[in-house]
Amino acid sequence: MPSPALPAWPPALPRASCDYLSAQATDYALAHGLVYRPVASSASELPPSDSAIHAPFSLLPSPFPRPLFEKAQAIQPTYDRLYAHVSADHRFLARVIGESVVHVDEFQKQLWDIYVAVKDELVQPLSLGLFRSDYLLHDQQSAGAAEESMGSRHGELGLKQVEFNTISASFGALCTKVSGLHRHLAQTTDYLGAHSGLADLDNLPENKAQDVLAGGLAAAHAAYVAQKQAASEAKNVYVLFVVQEGERNAFDQRPLEHALQRQGIRVVRQSFAEIADRITATEGDSSRTLYLAHPVLGRIEISVVYFRAGYGPGDYPGAAEWETRKRLELSRAIKCPSIAVQLAGAKKVQQVLAEPGELEALLPSLGSEMASADQLRETFTDLYPLDDSDLGRTGYELALNAPEHYVLKPQREGGGNNVYRRDIPGFLAQLDHGAGSVARRQAYILMSLIKPPAGLGNYLVKAATPTNPATGAVLAKDTVSELGVYGAILFETRADHKVQVHHHQAGGYLLRTKGRDSDEGGVAVGFSVIDSPFLI
Ligand code: ADP
Ligand code: MG
Ligand code: MG
C-alpha cells in the first residue's frame, strides 16, 4: 500500500498565534520537567546544579506517514530479539568484532578483551537491553531523479534504519513529555486552527517510552530479587545508574529513577570515578554480590547496573575506568547493557546483518510471530564493509567515486563521529597512508545516505543560551525528522547460547527534528529539537 503524501509543513501561523502557543508550550515544558541543566559558564566548570532551562522542542508535531510509524512499531519486537540473540551468539560476535574491528579500533578492543576474559566466568545469566532503533523517511523519488518532474514534493516514502542503539539510548522521558506537550496544545487550543488534523488526538499518538524503559529496569530488579534465597536478603538493594559527571541531560534520567521509586525500588546515581574505589564484588564472596560503599547511604547491594555512561572513549580516561567496568561485568548485578549487548550494537554488526543470508540464518531461532527477513531488510540501506572482501572492495570504490551518496561511520556512539559525502575520499586517503591501510579501513562501515522528503519545516522553540540569545519559536524551513522506537528486553543467555526471554515490551517513540543542513542531529548540543509525530 503506498504511503500517504505528507502536507507542506508547517502551516502558516500569524506571529501573535505563534507567540501565544510558544508561551503556553514553554510554561508546560518548565512545569513538567522538560528541561536541561544550563550550559556551564566555562569549559572547565560543571553546569549549575540549581537551575534549568527547557529542552529544545518543536512547537507543532511533524507529519509522519501512519503506515510507516506503525511498521516501525510492528518490527521492533523482532529487532529486540535479534540483537539479544546476537549478543548471545559468541561465534557471530567473534567473526564480526573479534576477528576484524578489534585489530584497528582501540575502544572496541578494550570492550572485546573484557568480554573474552570474563565470558566463561559470568555468574549472572540475565542481561537487560533498553534498545532504540532509529529511522529516517526515505524519499525514493529523490533517490532516482527520473520521476522528479511528476509534480509532487516527494515520491513514495520508505522507512530506513539509521542505527540500532544498545547502550544509553536516551530521551525516553523527555520525548514522552513532548508528546504530552503537543497533545496538550491540541486539546486546549486546537492549535488555533493551524491544521484541522491537529485537533484530532488520534493523529498524535500517546507515547509510552518512559514506561517501557522504567518497566525494563523494574523487571530486571524484580528478577534479581527473585534469585535471592530469602526475602530478607533483598532489603537495601538498589539500582545503580552509572552517569557522566555534570550531565546536562540529567532530567531525562531522573524520571526513570522516580518511576522506579514509585514502585518501591531505590536508585543511586554515581559516576565511574565515584564508584571506582567503592565497589566490591569479587573479593571474598563467591556469589559476587555487588556492593557499593556509599559515603551517605552506607554499604548497599546493587541489583541492576544501568549505564548512561560508558558508551564512548571519553568515559574511560585510563585503565582504572576499564577495570571498574570489568568488575561490574563480573559481578552478580544485572547489567544494562552487558558488554556483549554493547558489542552487538556496533555499527559493524548492523552492516553484517544486511549481508545476504545473515538474517535468514538468525531469524528462525528467535521464535514464532517474528517479522520476516524481508520485512526487516526493507528497512536497510545499502551497507558496505571496507575490508578486502568483494563487498568491501565495492564499498571502497563507491566511497572514492560516488562519495556524495554515502556516509562513513566508525564504531562509535553519541553523535559527531561520522564522515559525510565529499569528506570521505580525503579521510580515506589519510587512513590509506602507510602500511595496513585495508586493515585500518575495517574500523569503518559505508552507508548510503537516506534522503528524507522535502517540503517539511517546523517552528523550533529553544531556550536562550549565552551563544544564542533569541527565545521563542523560530521558523526552520527545511527539516528532517528521525524516528526512534524503544524496546526493553530482559533475557537469559543459556549455556547452549540460546536466549530465553523473561520480560519484553516494545514501543514508545522518539522523534527528533533538525535542519537538513546539519548532518548530525544532537539535541543536547543544540542541532535538533524533540518532536512528536502528526500521523497522516
Ligand atoms: P550515533 O550513534 O553517533 O548517533 P548515527 O548512526 O545515528 O550515529 O549517526 C548520527 C546522525 O547522522 C543520525 O542521527 C543522522 O542524522 C545522520 N545519519 C546517519 N546515518 C545516515 C544515513 N545513512 N543517511 C542520512 N543521515 C544519516
Ligand atoms: Mg547511536
Ligand atoms: Mg544515532
What CATH number is attached to the domain comprising 364?
3.40.50.1760
* 324-349 mean pLDDT: 97
User: Cell triple for residue 142?
Assistant: 529523490
Residue 343 included in any domain: yes
Share of the chain above pLDDT 70, in %: 94
Q: Which residues are annotated as a binding site?
A: 253, 347, 409-418, 420, 447-450, 482, 512, 514, 520
In the prediction, which pLDDT does 234 show? Answer: 65
Residue located nearest, by CA, to atom 14 of ligand 1: 521
Q: Domain check: are 230 and 367 in the same one?
A: yes
Which residue type occupies 358?
Answer: E
Ligand 2: centre distance to CA 169 (Å): 8
Lowest model confidence (mean pLDDT) among 164-168, 487-491, 514-518: 514-518
Q: Domain check: are 418 and 509 in the same one?
A: no
d(C-alpha 372, C-alpha 376), whole Å: 7
Q: Domain check: are 432 and 496 in the same one?
A: no
Mutate to test the pocket of ligand 1, among 163, 167, 168 (most ligand atoms within 8 A of CB): 163
Q: Say yes or no to pLDDT of 153 above 90.
A: no
Residue located nearest, by CA, to atom 12 of ligand 1: 520
Q: Domain check: are 412 and 374 in the same one?
A: no
Q: Domain check: are 409 and 295 in the same one?
A: no
Provide the ipTM: 0.99
- Residue 76 CB coordination number (10 Å): 23
Question: Among 454, 453, 473, which residue's Cα sits nearest to residue 462?
Answer: 473
d(C-alpha 173, C-alpha 350), whole Å: 26
What's the pLDDT band for 497 if we cut at 50, 70, 90? confident
Residue 26 included in any domain: no
- The b-or-e profile of 259-273 (16+ CB within 10 A means b, else e) is bbeeeebebbbbbbe
pLDDT tens-digit readout, 258-273? 999 999 999 999 999 9
Q: Which residues are annotated as a binding site for substrate?
A: 253, 512
Ligand 3: centre distance to CA 165 (Å): 7
Residue 31 included in any domain: no
Q: Rounded mean pLDDT of the chain?
A: 93
Into how many domains does the chain fold? 2
pLDDT tens-digit readout, 21-61? 999 999 999 999 999 999 888 888 999 999 999 999 999 99
pLDDT tens-digit readout, 368-384? 889 999 999 999 999 99
* 96-109 mean pLDDT: 94
Q: Domain check: are 154 and 300 in the same one?
A: yes
* 331-337 mean pLDDT: 97
What CATH number is attached to the domain comprising 435?
3.30.1490.50
What's the pLDDT band for 248 if we cut at 50, 70, 90? very high
In the prediction, which pLDDT does 327 show? Answer: 96
Q: Domain check: are 371 and 517 in the same one?
A: yes
Q: Domain check: are 386 and 527 in the same one?
A: no
Residue 195 included in any domain: no
Q: Say yes or no to pLDDT of 237 above 60.
A: yes
In the prediction, which pLDDT does 464 show? Answer: 87
Residue 130 included in any domain: yes
Residue 6 included in any domain: no
Q: Domain check: are 392 and 492 in the same one?
A: no
Q: Domain check: are 319 and 424 in the same one?
A: no
Q: Domain check: are 339 and 211 in the same one?
A: yes
Residue 43 included in any domain: no
Q: Domain check: are 327 and 395 in the same one?
A: no
List, by residue number, the catalytic residues. 132, 163, 165, 170, 347, 409, 413-414, 512
What's the pLDDT band for 149 if we cut at 50, 70, 90? very low
pLDDT tens-digit readout, 52-82? 999 999 999 999 999 999 999 999 999 999 9
What is the residue range of 156's domain? 60-179+203-378+452-458+477-535
User: Cell triple for residue 372?
Assistant: 520476516
Residue 399 included in any domain: yes
Q: Could you tell me if 32 and 52 are in contact, meaning their C-beta atoms sit under 8 angstroms apart?
A: no
In the prediction, which pLDDT does 350 show? Answer: 98
d(C-alpha 171, C-alpha 253), whole Å: 8
